[in-house]
């Protein structure tokens, strides 16, 4: 017989009755009836009930075993009587009658800081400090298995599409993503530092320039920025992809079956089957998304759309001064049609109005289009002819209401987007149990940086500007679009990508517009720059956030629920005790002298 087990804890059925077996696992639960003792033995695969009674000389020893001790049990598989079968357990037809057991772990003597057999919501610091216990619990264990399976599915699907998985360096140079780098001091080159990659961006492009054609990697990415519920501190994983000789449509065509197929494969993970957008995913230009949805990551489960109705409120016969004043300064009016809300109580509209005030807007004006005409606080300022125009623009049917947001274009878009979500939530018309994908395309190449007030890249500086060098030389930089796109799922950005710039002149000019002199570009991205000069193929790709995709499938609000060993919000690993001070000798070797703020000196004490 095997040293530890002949069967897993989910294997045995009535048909195995009579066999002598050995199973091994953790003591999940004990039910001690004095003369009769049940143990639920748990392993990765499931639970099996072990039974022993006082006839057995081992009874006393078994009775003393603690929860979470690891044991192996040898015994006979016995079919339970009809009334003692447990239909809730896959192995509930049988139990194992204990003949012998071995204690495989050191005996558990301390109080368990959290109970494995409970679904109580433990505090995160306890869960992270004793992550190995938390990981034994059902929900987290399942989530991590899901994550493994998702990664494995993605790999298989990428391989099937003709992609190969590459590895790229972890110790490298700073990349262009714009987040804070993690630095690693060089021992051999005093005063210099490696950066951990924020993404393998330059390497994957260099692989294309090295003549490989279809790259992917389940790539760790490191960014020294603060955490959020949906963003881990420090590190995360991307399905990183790059392809040569491709247009934007080729990238979409390659990725859609992978992402669709994977989501479809795991879409019933939570017990309820979610529908998944079949390819091709709808493509929405950035400008259209900002107008119709108020942001660049629309939740398409929400049926409401935003319409520009500036022209209506600009009419001479419309005398709504509150809006007129904003329009004179160059503002816009955006409208959201809420279908069939004429019979909603007054409080429905009042609550939305006070919500809008809470968001910093003066209010949320509206007109209800009833059969006898427009009603509501704004209606009297909008004569019939203008109301008819509103109905036409917004596609209003009798019984609908239209809400208005008036502000300068970017603020109006943002507020209208928030209102669109809020109205749909209050109406409870957001579709459930569905994964709705889309691509947002034609992102602007440049934007005015809010911090500096100067022209800067709005996304990836390595993206190809639409119109190429000619556009860079001739057009208003803020009007230039890039071959830059995002994949959005239910209002969350899942992926970003682009067709890359592979022409050195365009690269220099593109960076020049953003205020980086050519010498600086050559110094910072020398490898890329020189590769561009020696035969770079047109190429492009994208990167999908693994953690976020698993979060969606596991229906978790917090990314730490889909990562085996995450850091806490303060970027500390409570289990491993990282970060931790370095030995003076280690610091000396890498030529580092500490210069700590006073508070930290005290803490390090």
Partner RNA sequence: GCGGGUGUAGCUCAGUUGGUUAGAGCGCCUGCCUGUCACGCAGGAGGCCGAGGGUUCAAGUCCCUUCACUCGCGCCA
Q: Which is nearer to RNA, 59 or 342 (CB)?
A: 59
**148 binds RNA per the rule CB under 7 A:** no
**Start-end of H helices in 124-247:** 124-129, 131-134, 138-160, 201-209
State how far the Cα of 135 lies from the Cα of 566, in Å rounded to an integer.
12
DSSP code, position 224: -
Strand 20-32 to 70-79 pairing? antiparallel
Binding segment toward RNA, per CB under 7 A, in 273-281, 364-372, 374-382, 493-501: 493-501
Least distance (Å) from RNA to the CB of residue 378?
31
Across 193-205, b (16+ Cβ under 10 Å) vs e yields ebbbbbbbbbbbb
3-class SS string, 455-502: EEECCCCCECECCHHHHHHHCCHHHCEECEEEEEECCEEEEEEEEECC
Nearest to RNA of 130, 404 (CB atom) = 130
Q: Name which of 191 and 577 has its Cβ closer to RNA.
A: 577
The site that binds RNA (CB under 7 A) totals a number of residues, namely: 72
Question: What DSSP string runs through 381-416?
Answer: GS-HHHHHHHHHHHT--TT-EEEEEEESHHHHHHHH
- Judged by DSSP in three states, 98 sits in strand
* Residues in region 158-187 near RNA by CB under 7 A: 176-180
Burial of 212 (0-12, 13-18, 19+ CB in 10 A): middle
Of 248 and 267, which has the nearer Cβ to RNA?
248
Residues 57-76 that bind RNA (CB under 7 A): 66-67
Tell me if 524 contacts RNA by CB under 7 A: no
What are the phi and psi torsion angles at 382 (to 5°)?
-115, 105
DSSP 111: P
Closest distance of CB 351 from RNA, Å: 21
Q: Rule CB under 7 A: which of 201-220 touch RNA? A: 201
Q: Is 496 in the site for RNA (CB under 7 A)?
A: yes
Q: How far is the CB of 46 from RNA (least distance, A)?
A: 12
- The residue range among 315-323, 373-381, 424-432, 489-497 that interacts with RNA, by the rule CB under 7 A, is 489-497
Residue 359 vs 397, nearer CB to RNA = 359
Stretch that binds RNA, among 109-117, 182-190, 205-213, 329-337 (CB under 7 A): 109-117
Question: How far apart are the C-alpha atoms of 306 and 394, rounded to whole Å?
Answer: 8
Instruction: Choose, by CB under 7 A, the member of 2, 88, 329, 432 that binds RNA.
Output: 88
The per-residue b/e assignment along 168-192, b for 16 or more CB within 10 angstroms, e otherwise, is: beeebebbbeeeebbeebeeeeeee
Stretch in the footprint of RNA (CB under 7 A) among 86-94, 99-107, 409-417, 472-480: 86-94
User: Taking the alpha carbons of 17, 21, 23, 27 in that order, is the dihedral positive or negative?
Assistant: positive
Q: What is the DSSP letter of 444?
A: B
> Between residues 115 and 310, which has the closer beta carbon with respect to RNA?
115
Question: What is the rounded distance in angstroms from the CA atom of residue 383 to the CA atom of residue 525?
Answer: 61
Quote the tokens at residue 491. 């209002």
Between 345 and 577, name the residue whose CB sits nearer to RNA.
577
- Binding part of the chain for RNA, among 88-96, 205-213, 326-334, 391-399 by CB under 7 A, reads 88-96
Which residue number, 36 or 145, has a Cβ lying nearer to RNA?
A: 36
Q: Which of 83, 343, 519, 583 binds RNA (CB under 7 A)?
A: 83
Of 6, 69, 115, 310, the one binding RNA (CB under 7 A) is 115
Give the separation between CA 479 and CA 474, rounded to whole angstroms. Answer: 11
240-259 binders of RNA (CB under 7 A): none
Among 141, 231, 411, 522, indicate the residue that binds RNA (CB under 7 A): 231
DSSP letter assigned to residue 358: H
Contact with RNA (CB under 7 A): which of 160, 226, 249, 397? 226
Provide the Cα torsion 147, 205, 260, 250; round to 10°: -170
Is 272 a binding residue for RNA by CB under 7 A? The answer is no
Q: Taking CB under 7 A as the rule, does residue 418 contact RNA?
A: no
Taking the complex as a whole, the smallest distance from the CB of residue 35 to RNA amounts, in Å, to 3
Tell me if 251 sits within 8 A of 541, measured CB to CB: yes
105 binds RNA (CB under 7 A): no
Footprint (CB under 7 A) of RNA, residues 424-483: 450-451, 459-460
Q: Output the CA–CA distances (angstroms, integers) from residue 213 to 79, 150, 154, in the order listed.
A: 58, 24, 18
Q: Which of 111, 188, 585, 604 binds RNA (CB under 7 A)?
A: 111
Task: Show contacts with RNA in window 552-581 (CB under 7 A).
Answer: 558, 560, 568-570, 572
Per CB under 7 A, contacts with RNA among 19-58 are: 29-36, 38, 40, 49, 51, 53-55
Positions 121 through 140 that interact with RNA (CB under 7 A)? 121-126, 128
Comparison of 35 and 358: residue with beta carbon closer to RNA: 35
């Amino acid at each position: 017989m095997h040293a530890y087990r002949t069967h897993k804890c989910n294997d045995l059925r009535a048909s195995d009755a009579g066999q002598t077996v050995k199973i091994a696992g953790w003591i999940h639960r004990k039910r001690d009836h004095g003369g009769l003792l049940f143990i639920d033995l748990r392993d990765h695969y499931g639970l099996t009930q072990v039974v022993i009674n006082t006839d057995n000389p081992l009874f006393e020893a078994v009775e003393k075993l603690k929860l979470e001790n690891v044991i192996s049990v040898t015994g006979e598989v016995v079919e339970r009587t009809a009334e003692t079968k447990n239909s809730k357990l896959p192995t509930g037809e049988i139990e194992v009658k204990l003949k012998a057991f071995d204690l495989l772990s050191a005996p558990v003597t301390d109080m368990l800081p959290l109970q494995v057999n409970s679904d109580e919501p433990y505090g995160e610091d306890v869960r992270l400090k004793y992550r190995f216990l938390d990981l034994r619990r059902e929900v987290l264990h399942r989530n991590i298995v899901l994550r493994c399976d998702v990664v494995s599915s993605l790999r298989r699907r990428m391989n099937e599409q003709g992609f190969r998985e590459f590895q790229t360096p972890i110790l490298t140079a700073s990349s262009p993503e714009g987040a804070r780098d993690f630095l690693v001091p060089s021992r051999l080159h005093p005063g210099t530092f490696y950066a951990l990659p924020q993404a393998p961006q330059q390497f994957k492009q260099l692989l294309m320039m090295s003549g490989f054609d279809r790259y992917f990697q389940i790539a760790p990415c490191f960014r020294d920025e603060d955490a959020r519920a949906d963003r881990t501190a420090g590190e995360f994983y991307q399905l990183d992809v790059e392809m040569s000789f491709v247009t934007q449509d080729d990238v979409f065509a390659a990725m859609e079956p992978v992402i669709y197929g994977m989501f479809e494969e795991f879409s019933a993970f939570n017990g309820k089957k979610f529908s998944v957008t079949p390819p091709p995913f709808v493509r929405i230009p950035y400008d259209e998304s900002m107008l119709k949805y108020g942001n660049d990551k629309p939740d398409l489960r929400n049926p409401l759309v935003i319409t520009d109705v500036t022209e209506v409120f600009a009419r001479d016969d419309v005398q709504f001064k509150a809006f007129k004043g904003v329009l004179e300064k160059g503002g816009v009016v955006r409208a959201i049609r809420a279908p069939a809300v004429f019979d909603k109580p007054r409080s429905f509209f009042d609550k939305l109005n006070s919500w809008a005030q809470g968001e910093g807007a003066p209010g949320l004006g509206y007109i209800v289009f009833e059969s006898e005409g427009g009603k509501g606080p704004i209606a009297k300022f909008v004569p019939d002819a203008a109301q008819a125009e509103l109905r036409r623009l917004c596609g209003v049917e009798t019984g609908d209401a239209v809400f208005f947001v008036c502000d300068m274009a970017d603020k109006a878009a943002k507020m209208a987007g928030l209102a669109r979500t809020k109205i749909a939530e209050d109406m409870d018309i957001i579709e459930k149990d569905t994964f709705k994908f889309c691509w947002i395309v034609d992102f602007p190449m440049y934007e005015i940086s809010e911090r500096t007030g100067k022209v800067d890249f709005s996304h990836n500086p390595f993206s190809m500007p639409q119109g190429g060098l000619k556009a860079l030389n001739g057009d208003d930089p803020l009007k230039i679009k890039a071959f830059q796109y995002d994949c959005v799922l239910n209002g969350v950005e899942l992926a970003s990508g682009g067709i890359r710039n592979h022409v050195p002149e365009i690269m220099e000019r593109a960076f020049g517009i953003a205020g980086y002199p050519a010498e600086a570009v050559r110094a910072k991205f020398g490898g890329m720059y020189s590769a561009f000069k020696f035969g770079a193929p047109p190429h492009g790709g994208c990167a999908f956030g693994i953690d976020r995709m698993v979060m969606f499938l596991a229906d978790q609000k917090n990314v730490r629920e889909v990562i085996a060993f995450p850091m806490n919000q303060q970027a500390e690993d409570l289990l491993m005790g990282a970060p931790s001070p370095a030995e003076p000798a280690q610091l000396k070797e890498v030529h580092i002298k500490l210069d700590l703020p006073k508070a930290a000196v005290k803490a390090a004490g």
